[in-house]
């Protein structure tokens, strides 16, 4: 079983070195690393190359577009996704492989925690969100997947339509829903990575309004092309 790790990035020279260092420390190394570079204006591409990653430069700053271009460019059996501001636990890929093999799953979707950011953001991400995501999945089978911690068979994702390229947010939830239509998935908030809490600095009301907008627009219309994070995250 081969694995391609895909990381979308835009001006991530501050965080990307630590992310890629955590990749190099994994007990199970990816067979291919792809950094999808949305025309960064800093040293993102140079840093990625120094760690041996393949660079794909895209001309659109949309998270759905970047993730899907990485999917189409991957050559492995499994595609695993994380973000450029994330630290991966040493057993991240080996745990994913174990779930896929032992649970006969077509995809694995986990959660994330943040060590920094405003107190209310840490409380929301580290305490409320895992509980709410687990409950929502148990009650309604809605996978609130997180893009920095997910992996699935490449062919399953492609046959299900891949990522929605116009999505600015919720592309991770949508790909989980699509992959789930092709077979069993593992969805666990106890399997998590550590990400930056930088989104918390955008402000409390920004988070609330974005969350409400996502709920209304995505879960009613199955779209997320009008709202989202600034550029890609």
Low-confidence residues of the chain: pLDDT under 70: 210-212, 214-215, 217, 220-233
Predicted local distance difference test score (pLDDT) of residue 168: 82
Domains of the chain (ranges; CATH) run 3-221 (3.90.550.10)
Predicted local distance difference test score (pLDDT) of residue 233: 46
Pairwise CA distance, residues 82 & 66, whole Å: 12
Pairwise CA distance, residues 231 & 62, whole Å: 6
Among candidate residues 190, 175, 229, the one with its CA nearest the CA of residue 111: 190
Predicted local distance difference test score (pLDDT) of residue 3: 98
Q: How many distinct helices (H) and strands (E) make up the chain?
A: 9, 8
Whole-Å CA distances, 20 to 9, 34, 214 = 12, 11, 30
The SS3 of residue 186 is strand
Predicted local distance difference test score (pLDDT) of residue 152: 98
pLDDT tens digits for 154-170? 999 999 999 999 888 88
The SS3 of residue 160 is coil
Predicted local distance difference test score (pLDDT) of residue 72: 98
Task: Catalogue the long-range contacts made by 177-184 (C-beta closer than 8 Å, 24 or more residues apart).
Answer: 177/142, 177/143, 179/106, 179/107, 179/152, 179/153, 180/107, 180/141, 180/143, 182/106, 182/156, 183/105, 183/106, 183/107, 183/156, 184/103, 184/104, 184/105, 184/106
Predicted local distance difference test score (pLDDT) of residue 199: 87
Whole-structure pTM value: 0.92
**Which residues in 107-214 belong to E strands, given as ranges?**
107-113, 150-153, 185-195
pLDDT tens digits for 165-222? 988 888 999 999 999 999 999 999 999 999 999 988 888 777 777 666 766 767 766 6
Among candidate residues 181, 155, 185, the one with its CA nearest the CA of residue 74: 155
């Amino acid at each position: 079983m081969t694995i391609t790790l895909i990381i979308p990035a835009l001006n991530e020279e501050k965080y990307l070195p630590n992310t890629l260092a955590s990749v190099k420390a994994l007990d199970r190394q990816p067979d291919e690393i792809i950094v999808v570079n949305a025309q960064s204006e800093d040293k993102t591409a140079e840093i990625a190359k120094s760690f041996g990653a393949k660079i794909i430069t895209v001309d659109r700053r949309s998270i759905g577009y970047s993730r899907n271009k990485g999917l189409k460019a991957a050559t492995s059996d499994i595609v695993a996704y994380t973000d450029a501001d994330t630290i991966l636990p040493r057993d991240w890929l080996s745990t994913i492989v174990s779930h896929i093999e032992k649970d006969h799953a077509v995809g694995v979707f986990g959660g994330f925690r943040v060590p920094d950011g405003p107190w209310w953001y840490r409380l929301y991400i580290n305490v409320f969100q895992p509980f709410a995501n687990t409950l929502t999945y148990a009650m309604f089978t809605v996978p609130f997947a997180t893009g920095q911690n997910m992996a699935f068979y490449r062919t399953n994702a492609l046959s299900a339509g891949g990522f929605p390229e116009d999505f600015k947010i919720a592309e991770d939830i949508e790909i989980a829903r699509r992959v789930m239509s092709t077979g069993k998935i593992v969805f666990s908030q106890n399997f998590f990575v550590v990400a930056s809490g930088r989104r918390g600095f955008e402000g409390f009301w920004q988070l609330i309004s974005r969350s409400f907008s996502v709920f209304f627009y995505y879960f009613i219309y199955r779209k997320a092309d009008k709202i989202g994070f600034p550029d890609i995250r």
